[in-house]
Amino acid sequence: MNRYLLDTCTFLWLVAGDETLSSKAAEIIRNQNNDIFLSVMSAWEISIKYGANKLPLPQRPDVFVCRQREDHLLVSLPLLEAHVLTLNKLPAIHQDPFDRILVCQAVAESLTILTPDDAISQYPVRTVW
């Protein structure tokens, strides 16, 4: 069984049925033999952007994220101390704090990140797009 972590944009494209989602990522997500995780950090990022009117959603984030995560059989990944303590081991490649913590979570949990972000792929973490 393989374990994957969705980048926030990947989650949003998945739930919107957006063609920007790569066919490889869609295939991985559909494969029921894979564990697919959505970080609580993505929920936080979505909530912040929604609150700043930068991300329109059909429902409030507290309803939308939970419902979509359940509908797509995604596992919620909490933020743990071990994840945060990985942060100082990362090179300063990416300035986005949400992406950096997703990298930390992927490193600590041995997850592959499903992301189109080239900056994330420069970290010592597996990525697929």
Q: Are 109 and 77 in contact (CB under 8 A)?
A: yes
CA angle 103, 107, 87 (to 5 degrees): 60
> Residues 69-116: pLDDT tens digits?
999 999 999 999 999 999 888 888 878 999 999 999 999 999 999 999
What pLDDT does 56 receive? 96
Tell me the three-class secondary structure of 51-110, residue by residue.
Answer: HCCCCCCCCCHHHHHHHHHHHCCCEEECCCHHHHCCHHHCCCCCCCHHHHHHHHHHHHHC
Q: Where exactly are the structural domains of the chain? A: 3-128
pLDDT digits (tens, 9 = 90+) for 34-71: 999 999 999 999 999 999 999 999 999 999 999 999 99
CATH 3.10.180.10 corresponds to the domain 3-128 = no
Q: Which residues pair with 114 in a beta bridge?
A: 6, 128
Angle, helix 8-16 to helix 23-30, in steps of 10 degrees: 80
